């Protein structure tokens, strides 16, 4: 039998397989839990601060009678510290790690594109929500003759909702659109 001729590309492929890099890449991109995996997509973590912020916004819109007995400064301080105390550590965790759960300088082309798309989605959705929500709240406050206290509480909760959505939506979008390869 003649020995099989091995061309230069086959030798390079064999050399690359010998280094173990293809196995590492396949392990990093798979859904299977690994011992040395550093980062995982944050799929459910961003939902908690968004749920708290939405609940606070809906509560300030629908239940203004609870605020009648409290002075204006007390409402602003209480809302700020209660909401900020609950959300700050979640938003900080999510925003510091980025939408993909890692710093941007470690991204490849696919992850950089996903990061860009997630921020564009977030900004587009926030622009639509604010363009539709602000006139709605303005008309609602004018028609129902809201007091200054109610307007301040709605404005503060809307601001906290915007901050929370700006910090959490890119992570939520990127973590659910990050394609994982099956472990083979």
Q: Where are the domains of the chain?
A: 1-30, 42-177
pTM of the full structure: 0.66
Instruction: Name the residue among 7, 88, 105, 103 with its Cα closest to residue 48.
Output: 88
Report the C-alpha gap between 179 and 166 in whole angstroms. 23
Q: Note the pLDDT of residue 131.
A: 96
Running along the chain, 184 residues long, what does each successive block of 10 average in pLDDT? 66 76 69 53 76 85 70 69 65 64 72 85 94 92 86 85 86 77 54
State whether residue 5 is helix, strand or coil: coil
């Amino acid at each position: 039998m003649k020995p099989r001729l091995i061309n230069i590309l086959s030798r390079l492929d064999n050399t690359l397989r010998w280094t173990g890099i293809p196995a590492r890449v396949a392990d990093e991109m798979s859904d299977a839990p690994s011992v040395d995996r550093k980062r995982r997509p944050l799929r459910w973590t961003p939902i908690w601060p968004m749920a708290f912020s939405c609940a606070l916004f809906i509560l300030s819109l629908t239940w203004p009678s609870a605020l009648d007995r409290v002075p204006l400064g007390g409402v602003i301080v209480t809302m700020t510290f209660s909401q900020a105390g609950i959300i700050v550590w979640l938003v900080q965790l999510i925003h510091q790690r980025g939408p993909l759960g890692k710093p941007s300088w470690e991204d490849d082309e696919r992850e950089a594109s996903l990061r860009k798309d997630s921020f564009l989605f977030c900004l587009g959705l926030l622009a639509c929500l604010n363009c539709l929500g602000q006139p709605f709240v303005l008309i609602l406050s004018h028609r129902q003759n809201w007091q200054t206290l109610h307007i301040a509480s709605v404005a503060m909760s809307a601001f906290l909702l915007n901050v929370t959505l700006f910090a959490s939506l890119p992570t939520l979008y990127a973590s659910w659109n990050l394609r994982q390869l099956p472990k083979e």
